[in-house]
Structure 1
């Protein structure tokens, strides 16, 4: 609930300051829809669910495949975010100090990215435990909790995508 409240504050701030920058660039001038990254991140909810379902059936091999796929898809999302930020900073001149849009954009998308990184670290630890034979069917509930965190991160991205890239443009 606390994480959801933090994101709500950032969503409201982003919407409140939308269009109030005194200088450019504006979202319409520099933002493109991050389709590839979005598909990767949303697909990772399927693969983490697959991993949990496999572990519930004591299928450790498929659990490892599901976790590896989730980590790969999450990493691809982060690479696409890094590429977007590189383009915005070096090609478009948009930094956190440029204007209100830059400040709220990097704060909101950066907050989400930090949650993705935390999730990737935890998923990688679960993957290592699975590959080393320490993940067993009795750990299903723990992996389920981790998958709920990952689903939360994905659901937050849907809202970020809608607010920043659809409504905000």
Structure 2
């Protein structure tokens, strides 16, 4: 080989570094903050469970909300399919999956309202009755508030989808919303276990 001949070593193409989505980063920060709040409420519930000086107690009045829990957890699947459908440009399928998500979340919220009505009217458990009532309504109410916020945003997304104002370019925004909804569902698993399984 002569000195004039150079050895060429193939190099892998350099990928351009891309900043993460502002929406995803913002939602991640929100979820971290919200998770800290939920941890405080869960710890408070666990600390005070069984320390009420008067009744009713959790085992006296709480029934395990199996149906509504299944509905809420299933809504994580439907919102995933909504994002996937929007990514593929299937607007009608996106609307259908969003509608199912809103319906399932709505069923959960109605179930929570019915449970609270029974606890307040029939069992006379209010937020001021005892420590159990205070921590129960605080923790479950905090989660229900997050469900309401999520349902409002999902309903708006559904309206935009039905009006044809949502297309595949909006996939990232819907995905950010779905991350919030997955968080709400994941928190419910913890609340369900703490309040209705271990706390009884």
Could you tell me the TM-score, scaled by structure 1's length? 1.00
Aligned mate of 1:34, from 62, 65, 82: 65
1:158 paired residue among 179, 189, 194: 189
1:131 equivalent in alignment to 2:162: yes
Residue by residue over 1:112-167, the C-alpha shift from the partner in whole angstroms, topping out at 9 and shown as x without a partner, is 00000000000000000000000010000000000000000000000000000000
- Structure 2 equivalent of residue 93 of structure 1: 124
Distance in 1 (CA, whole Å) between partners of 2:35 and 2:165 is 32
Matched residues in 1 for 2:159 and 2:189: separation? 29
Aligned pair partner of 2:136 in 105, 121, 133: 105
Higher helix proportion (structure 1 or 2): 1
- Aligned counterparts of 1:25 and 1:117: Cα–Cα separation in 2: 28
CA shift at 1:80, angstroms? Answer: 0.3
Q: Using the alignment, how far apart are the partners of 1:38 and 1:105 within structure 2?
A: 17
Please, what TM-score do these two structures have when normalized by structure 2? 0.84
Deviation string 1:59-105 (CA, Å, 9 cap, x unpaired) is 01110000000000000000000000000000000000000000000
CA-atom RMSD, angstroms?
0.3
Count of residue pairs the alignment pairs up: 169
Distance 1:46 1:2 in 2: 25
For the residue of structure 1 that corresponds to 2:116, the secondary structure is: helix
After superposition, what is the alpha-carbon deviation per residue over 1:45-65, rounded to whole angstroms, capped at 9, x for unaligned?
000001000001000111000
Q: Which has the larger radius of gyration?
A: 2
Q: Which of 17, 31, 43 is the matching residue for 2:48?
A: 17
- What stretches of structure 1 of length at least 5 have no aligned partner? none
Query: How many Å separate the matches in 1 of 2:176 and 2:97?
Result: 15
SS at match of 2:51: coil
Local SS of the residue matching 1:46: helix
